[in-house]
Amino acid sequence: MAPKKGDLTEEERELITVISKGTVEEAGRCLGSKEVRVNCLDEHGMTPLMHAAYKGKADMCKLLLQHGAEVNCNEHEHGYTALMFAGLSGKKEIVWMMLEAGADPDVLNSVGRTASQMAAFVGQHDCVTVINNFYPREKLDYYTKPQGLNTEPKLPVKLSGPLYKIITTTNLHPVKIVFMVKENPLLMETDALKKCSNVLDQICEKCMKQQDMNEVLAMKMHYISCILQKCITYIQEKEDKLDTFIKSLLKGRDSDCFPVFQEKLIRESIRKFPYCEATLLQQLVRSIAPVEIGSDPTAFSVLTQAITGQVGFIDAEFCTTCGEKGASKRCSVCKLVIYCDQNCQKLHWFTHKKICKILKEKREKHELEDAKEKKRQEKYNNQGLCIGIVYIHTGFCLYERNFYNVGIINLYSYRYSLPVPSSIGCPPRLSRLKGFKTFLFIYVYF
Ligand SMILES: [Zn+2]
Ligand SMILES: [Zn+2]
């Protein structure tokens, strides 16, 4: 018999308390009791798994799933699922766990929102990325078994693992995808890559033709397939194991080091998407087509935003070479470009060296101006009140166009108006904002 809302035994109440305050061992002991049903419901219709997901406790979630917790239970008063609670908690490993346990990402809550939309609403973009990029391993493994009259599977079993790693990536940077191909000797053969690329095309077709069409996943599969096809061309033509391909992707044009080939390749891959009626394709083309090559937004950032749900690349630094999140090594000369490690820096140096010194001089000039500006402001060390607008116009720092115009327009100021810096080096947090932003501000200075 299905559990009733709020009909909890003493032991079940204890389990819920332990989930929020206790240890996994205690929870394990509770679950051992005959009086505890793992899918019991509290008065709001929340299961223990929902509580654990909401509290962001990965080990508790794991334990509950091992004890048979139902991941798609949908008795919550507002129609929230465990996956939705996981997304709200901001713990991406829990989101992943729920999806692997079979959570349905398309369930809607009582106001018609999916788990991905709810996570986006509370700013948990990493969780959105995980949900939007999840593809169950079984679906890929389907291609490793011969279908119909075929005696050979479309995908050899040994390729399933490496390909799965590529298709679940949330970093769509073409260099990163080439890295993943290079990493695995099994993939470094044209025949293997052709098979992978064909399977991706078939998954893409399935995503578009199934009843609950998934354009995002279809676009991702198509895009990766295009990059793999390019790898095939380079493996056939060059003997250097894709190094020429990587170089071409990174090579910047003379004026500002913008990687034109990379931009064109991504644009072309998007354009080649075989379902021209797809809304997502039209959206992407509308955002990219009017942009001159070298201006913002780049095709990579538009595509990444569409596929992973990452907005504005906030809160993380991205490697200039491979687009990996969390890069922290700066070029020691210009201090303006960031890499994951020495390897990424070395790969980029052949093109970055043309502009590194110029960037350094620009930075120093800006720092100098900044220091002068600070001194000038110190003079206005009086009490006052200001209301105004700050506007910031930034390039995307991935491609070395690292200067930002920050301006302040005072709408009202009491006593003194602050001098307006016309162009200053960008403060670190703002450097991750992209495009044109304006903020209204009110401040009091003492
Ligand atoms: Zn990197
Ligand atoms: Zn540099």
Q: Report pLDDT for 280.
A: 92
On whether residue 158 sits in a domain, the answer given is: no
Q: Report pLDDT for 214.
A: 84
Examine the fold and report which residue of 95, 119, 143 is the final residue of a domain before the chain moves on. Answer: 119
| Closest ligand (CA of 351) | 2
Rounded CA gap, 242 and 239, in Å?
Answer: 8
Q: H helices of 238-341, where?
A: 243-250, 260-271, 279-288, 299-308
Cβ pair 315, 429 in contact under 8 A: no
| Closest ligand (CA of 398) | 1
Cα(81) to ligand 1 centroid in Å equals 36
On whether residue 263 sits in a domain, the answer given is: no
| Closest ligand (CA of 319) | 1
Cα(352) to ligand 2 centroid in Å equals 6
On whether residue 376 sits in a domain, the answer given is: yes
Cα(9) to ligand 1 centroid in Å equals 53
DSSP strand pairing (405-414 vs 435-445): unpaired
Q: Report pLDDT for 391.
A: 56
Q: Report pLDDT for 159.
A: 96
Tokens of 273: 């998407």
Cα(50) to ligand 2 centroid in Å equals 48
Q: Which segments in the chain show pLDDT lower than 70? A: 1-2, 309-316, 377-446
On whether residue 134 sits in a domain, the answer given is: no
Examine the fold and report which residue of 71, 95, 119 is the final residue of a domain before the chain moves on. Answer: 119
On whether residue 361 sits in a domain, the answer given is: yes
Rounded CA gap, 8 and 425, in Å?
Answer: 59
Give me the number of domains the chain comprises.
2
Rounded CA gap, 128 and 216, in Å?
Answer: 13
Q: Report pLDDT for 307.
A: 85
Cβ pair 87, 131 in contact under 8 A: yes
On whether residue 32 sits in a domain, the answer given is: yes
Q: How many CB atoms lie within 10 A of CB 36?
A: 21
Examine the fold and report which residue of 67, 87, 119 is the final residue of a domain before the chain moves on. Answer: 119
- Residue 203 sits at the vertex; the CA angle it makes with 202 and 208, to the nearest 5 degrees, is 100
Rg (CA), the chain: 26
Query: Which residue range is the domain that position 389 belongs to?
Result: 346-445
Cα(296) to ligand 2 centroid in Å equals 21
On whether residue 161 sits in a domain, the answer given is: no
CATH number of the CATH domain containing 27 = 1.25.40.20
Q: Report pLDDT for 204.
A: 96
Q: Report pLDDT for 389.
A: 59
Cα(440) to ligand 2 centroid in Å equals 34
On whether residue 253 sits in a domain, the answer given is: no
Cα(124) to ligand 2 centroid in Å equals 32
Could you report the per-residue pLDDT of 379-422, keeping only the tens digit for each?
655 555 555 555 555 444 333 333 444 455 545 544 444 443 33
Cα(340) to ligand 1 centroid in Å equals 4
- Written as one string, the DSSP assignment of 333-384 is TT---EESSHHHHHHHHHHHHHHHHHHHHHHHHHHHHHHHHHHHHHH--S-E
